[in-house]
Chains A and B, each alone.
Chain A
Amino acid sequence: MNAHTAESLLRCHRAEKPPDSRMQKALRWAEGDPAARQRLKDQMDFDKQVLEAIHFIKPPENLRQRLNALGARPRAEQPGLRKQIINPAVLSALAGVAVIVGIIAFFVVDHIEKFPGRESVERMIPAAGKMTGLEFDAVSTTTDQLGDWLYMHGYEGYEVPKEISSLPVIYSRVFRLDGKAIAQFAMERHDSLVYEFHASDFGVELPQDGDWRLLAQDDWAAAIRQHGDHCFMILLRGGKSDMKDFLQSLPKK
């Protein structure tokens, strides 16, 4: 064993530990070198003194309880969540996040509610509020028998939504918007109007056989969905929640 290796090992010597074979060789080397032997003796004496002092450090008897108490108590240098939230910088950041979330939510909702042809549909809604009832013809039929009547009055290709098939119809008419025919009728059971028109006539594009899409305008709520080129729209006075209740009362499609 050379001097460099031996001295390197001896600096890691722990007197209280049984030496392994390499350390034994290093110790033997030190025995044969007076200067190294003296250095090792000084080192061991110093280590002994330090160890004595270190082992005089006694943890408090109740250290564990003290640590438990300290760990459970909020520290001054570790501000709690409440304190951090009161911090103006944190408040500003939270306000900023809230605004961004609000804007995103607005755009998401707006995107969900928007669909091609919506403007055309919205033009149909206000007219309902101005109707007197004289615009309609009184009929006595059911929704699934209304096709012939509507055809005779200028609306081709009537198809009844499954949810309202076989329900009594008391008033009906066909009117035109931008030259395109729209069938409209009132059912006896419900205080509601049903519109039917061809989606392509008004540029409406909704998911095929999707769920009812709700719209609210003035005092009216509308629900619209598409089947093929047929657009069905139910209109009633009230809000979206009224419409939801109404739709839930209908048989499933």
Chain B
Amino acid sequence: MRQRLPIIATVVVFLLLYVAACFRFEGFGTLRVFFNFLSDNAFLGVIAVGLTFVILTGGIDLSVGAMLGCAGIMVADLITKFHLHPGLATLIVLGFGALVGWTQGMLVEKFKLPSFLVTLGGLFFCRGFSLWISRESMQIDHPAFSELSQFSIKLPAKASLPVSALVWLVILAIGAYLARQTRFGRTTYAIGGNEASARLMGLPVSKTKVLIYTFSGFCAALGGLVFALYTGSGNAVSGTGLELDAIAAVVIGGTLLSGGYGSILGSFIGVMILGVIQTAISFDGTLSSWWTKIFIGALLLIFILLQKLIERSVRAN
């Protein structure tokens, strides 16, 4: 019960914010606005799925924001300059993301380097690499690509689910399945609970950790593709500071930064909370955009303090 407290707090915060916003702003409560949360935050949501696994083991991945920009500019470059088919370009970009993630995982696991330093290196690398591809924003002109970005499933009440939202929901389902129903997922939790114990229990700790960073790199690249689809272009500097939003979403979603506790669905709600805050502030009109950062920071502080309280009471047991 005590361990469930963060996720309960997350759901309560989401409901309170959502209901309050619905009362405060006309038209906030419509189905269309709700589904817009899904499509507007899909890139962040996709990234958060991979990052949740990393944080569940007690690590951190700072390279996700830079990878988003890198994947976007890469796919744009491959399609526009090299005239590759978008499908092939997508595969290449996803492979690249996984490769960068794998490299980071190997450095963290094999050489016992701190994850924040390694992924800091990853951040620099991805930013440099994307600027090297192109400093300018690149439009993506390809019939298949535009068709894909326009496709959406129509829902009642003028709501619709575009591809980006669908990708998010699919990766969410995969993430939740991996975390809950596979040995890979359970090993992830065991590592977060106590890494040394997990090794002594004979679990494949090294393999799992490398895979987790690989998956996080893959998700970040996928997030970049979703973002490119959403904006119709690639830009080397997009996703600046996004790693912080992603970490905030995961933590607010109830995942303990020390690892071991948390869930993929929690991170989903965490992303939705950020979405509600952002949308509410834009609905308000009088509140400026920086209030988003301050709100998120304050929320993050509250959740971190809550986590510490839980940790303490668990230890006192």
Q: Do A and B bind each other?
A: no
